Chain A
Amino acid sequence: MVAVTDSLSAAAGRSTWSVVRIGFLVAFLLVYPFIADPFWTVQIGAQALFLGLVALSLMLLAGLAGMVSLAQLTVAGIAGYMFAIFGESTAPISLHWPWWAVLPIALAIATLAAALIGAISVRTEGIYTIMITLAIGVGFANFARQNYDIFNGFNGFAGVAPPPLFGVDWREPMPFYYLSLGVAVLAYLGVVYFRRSTFGLSLQAIRDNARRMEALGFNVTWHRILAYCLAGFLAALGGIFIVWFNGRISPGSISLGPMIDILIIAVLGGLRHPIGPFVGALVFVLLDNFAIDLIDRERFNTVIGAAFLLVVLVSPDGLLGLWDKLKAFLAKGREESGR
């Protein structure tokens, strides 16, 4: 609630125009499922929201704390796996515990795993993180594939669904969309708030100069691990949506390809502002679905790789950065023509 009022007051500080714009965006997001068919509601709308959520967790780590972790999808995957392992699935080793126990357990274990990944990787610095988290993520996917007692090996788990709470089937297009929207918006506002909190500010200070913060008496390691926990929790939330969306999870869901996808989404959108990951996710999901109709699907990876490369080369701040540049350019043009 604090986050909401905070962002509202922040919005009030801006021009009326930007308030109107935000109002339009919110209204559009709310009526979207009524103008879109089920496919556009779920596969495009909801998927962009929860993939954006996982990418948001990377934005929090990379943008605020300067740690690019490729293992955010691994954390999401652990949450999804735990939901399937403790809850309902068609695999005989699922424990069938009630959902109100399973959900917090899944989120807690995934957050804990994130802390562990953080503890392993924060002791080294900067670009090491990307390598170490890459190796950890692939190592975990390999382990899940080989282990049948807990992770059901290569087959993984199928028949995973959201709990039928309040008599609603949450996997139906509209409920699923609104649930994704609600959680994504809350997470977004949370990150917006977090950026300006004391902890968030010290994280950014650590990102900019860790040594100085250490000299000032800050426990840099703990700050970073805590950042991994927070980001891990967001990723875990996203992971629950991923497993509900697919209805299944297997080692392929957490392998290198999807891990890199999250990085692509975050970088494509831009790591500077929490809206970036959602923009990136929308573009990625649209490309993923419709590239086959526009170009040869066989070269999809060239297209997505080249798009990613172009964004990194041209605009380090992603599509958001491009948008800002465009705006600045247009404003300049207006000024000149006005003269």
Chain B
Amino acid sequence: MQVLSRRLLLAGAATLSLSVAAGPAAAEDTIKIGVLATLEGAFTVLGEDSMRGADLAFEQAGYMAGGKKIEVIKGSSDASPDSALRAARKLVEDDKVDILLGPLSGSEGLALRDYAKTQPQTTFVNGTSAAQDTTLRDAAPNFFRFTTDGVQWQAGLGTYAFQDKGYKSAVVIAEDYSFPYSQVQGFMLEFCKLGGKVPEKFWVPIGNKDYSTIVASIPDDVDAIYVALGGADAVNFLTQYQQGGGDKPMIGGSITVDQSVMGSEARLGKEYLLGTPSAGPIADTWDDPRWRAFVAAYQKQYPDGFPSPSLFAHGYYTGALAIITALNDVKGNLGDDQKAFRAALAGLELDTPTGKVTLDENRQAIADIFLTEVTEGDDGKLYNRVVKIIPQVNQTMGEPRAEFLKLGPVSRTNPECP
């Protein structure tokens, strides 16, 4: 009996797969979504968490949206724009995905934005890439970003450092490439406007791991140091700063005092870190039912994942959620060059684990930003406590678009207020 039913099932499956391969009618029942993240190279761990975020959203939707089946095809890059392009080409041109979700890092995002312009039949939804220019200048009509950029992530931080912490001057220590440039701009826009001074910026070349000489170079006559380093760089800098006898209070970029840094078993100096403010798109311990539900679902689904979803899982989850929601709105209709679907995406008022997200005219997210401070928990571990939520930060940081564009692209020397 069992054998028979299995055979029937197999036969059914065979006819089903035949019909899928055969007719356009069947193809319309499936929507192909490519997910692109860094599953190789130094960012592998982050790429894996991105995939968890995307999978979680599709899983929660039962791999169905707008009455159609969702087929997910994964692609991988090594965080270089060239490899992202190759992987995207494979997904778009060979696997013929309808929608591409990704990529993870900033320069990959810029490369895919340019590629998107040559593939008008496919809709691109950003993963976590946070370069400002991807959507601010020369945006692609079929590229949508439901996550905030590196400048937005620092909203509120400059003001908090100046007004609440009382720092009037700070030096910048950051890696020498585009993502830290935009973080520094986000911080300095507010800090300088209020009258804060940044006398010197220490741009540390990528690949340098020995920060001792940088530590020795930090001037004595500033109130604080603004540090935009991540991962191993943040750990190295912090331990060497401790050992070098540094005592200036720190202001952190979005990835400087995250769980990957504070969770490392290095001597970062607990006393020193306490009270360090930073800002970013998520806050691990935000006490809100939507966020708590998201974290719980993540932990349940991925016992081997991070203790709490990273901003990469969050970003890809948000992107996938936007895709599913818009597909539901248009009942899975991707006809007419996806016109209806894209209109639905552009008009979404998305309810995400971190609050409401809408898009501006360049299809760039307007969302809440979390201002946090390092605090000691009951278990003695360090975590980021939410101090304040900066509501609905847009890409021009509240400035009129024309004014903001006049500031020009971020660089080593832009902005400045010595």
Direct contact of A and B (CB under 8 A): yes
Interface residues of A (CB under 8 A from B): 37-40, 42-43, 90, 142, 145-146, 148, 153-155, 158-159, 246-248, 250, 252-253, 255, 257-258, 288-289, 292, 297-298, 300-301
- B337-377 CB mask vs A (1 if < 8 Å, else 0) is 00000000000000000000000000000000000000000
Query: Closest CB of chain A to B181's CB: distance in Å?
Result: 9
- Of B85-93, B193-201, B243-251, B296-304, which binds chain A? B85-93
From B48, B74, B107, A155 is in contact (CB under 8 Å) with B107
Per the bound structure, the CA–CA distance linking A16 and B371 in Å amounts to 77
Per the bound structure, the CA–CA distance linking A280 and B44 in Å amounts to 27
Instruction: Say yes or no for B378: interface residue by CB 8 A criterion.
Output: no
Instruction: Say yes or no for B176: interface residue by CB 8 A criterion.
Output: yes
Contacting residues, chain B, for A90 (C-beta < 8 A): 138
For the complex with contacts A43-B86, A154-B178, A247-B114, 18 further pairs of A-B residues with Cβ separation under 8 Å are A39-B94, A43-B90, A145-B177, A153-B177, A154-B107, A155-B107, A246-B81, A246-B82, A246-B85, A247-B115, A248-B85, A248-B111, A252-B81, A252-B107, A257-B78, A289-B90, A298-B40, A298-B48
- Complex contact B39–A146 (CB within 8 A): no
Residue in B75, B90, B138 whose Cβ sees the most chain A Cβ within 10 Å: B90
- Cβ contacts A to B, 17 pairs, < 8 Å: A43-B89, A145-B206, A146-B176, A153-B177, A154-B107, A154-B177, A154-B178, A246-B82, A246-B111, A247-B115, A248-B82, A248-B85, A248-B114, A292-B75, A297-B40, A298-B40, A300-B40
Contacting residues, chain A, for B90 (C-beta < 8 A): 39, 43, 289
- Complex contact A142–B207 (CB within 8 A): yes
- Complex contact A155–B82 (CB within 8 A): no
Instruction: Say yes or no for B171: interface residue by CB 8 A criterion.
Output: no
- Complex contact A248–B81 (CB within 8 A): yes
- Complex contact B111–A158 (CB within 8 A): yes
Q: How large is the interface on B (under 10, 10 to 19, 20 to 34, 35 or more residues)?
A: 20 to 34
Query: Closest CB of chain A to B129's CB: distance in Å?
Result: 13
Contacting residues, chain B, for A39 (C-beta < 8 A): 89-90, 93-94
Contacting residues, chain B, for A289 (C-beta < 8 A): 86, 90, 94
Contacting residues, chain B, for A252 (C-beta < 8 A): 80-82, 107
Name B37-66 residues within 8 Å CB distance of A: 39-41, 44, 48
Instruction: Say yes or no for B205: interface residue by CB 8 A criterion.
Output: yes
Per the bound structure, the CA–CA distance linking A142 and B177 in Å amounts to 12
Per the bound structure, the CA–CA distance linking A90 and B133 in Å amounts to 12
- Complex contact A253–B89 (CB within 8 A): no
- Complex contact A297–B76 (CB within 8 A): yes
- Complex contact B178–A155 (CB within 8 A): yes
Which 3 A-B residue pairs are closest in the complex by CB-CB distance?
A: A252-B80, A39-B93, A154-B177
Per the bound structure, the CA–CA distance linking A90 and B113 in Å amounts to 13
Contacting residues, chain A, for B412 (C-beta < 8 A): 148
From B44, B74, B76, B107, A250 is in contact (CB under 8 Å) with B107
Per the bound structure, the CA–CA distance linking A154 and B39 in Å amounts to 22
Contacting residues, chain B, for A300 (C-beta < 8 A): 40, 76
Per the bound structure, the CA–CA distance linking A255 and B75 in Å amounts to 22
Query: Closest CB of chain A to B134's CB: distance in Å?
Result: 11
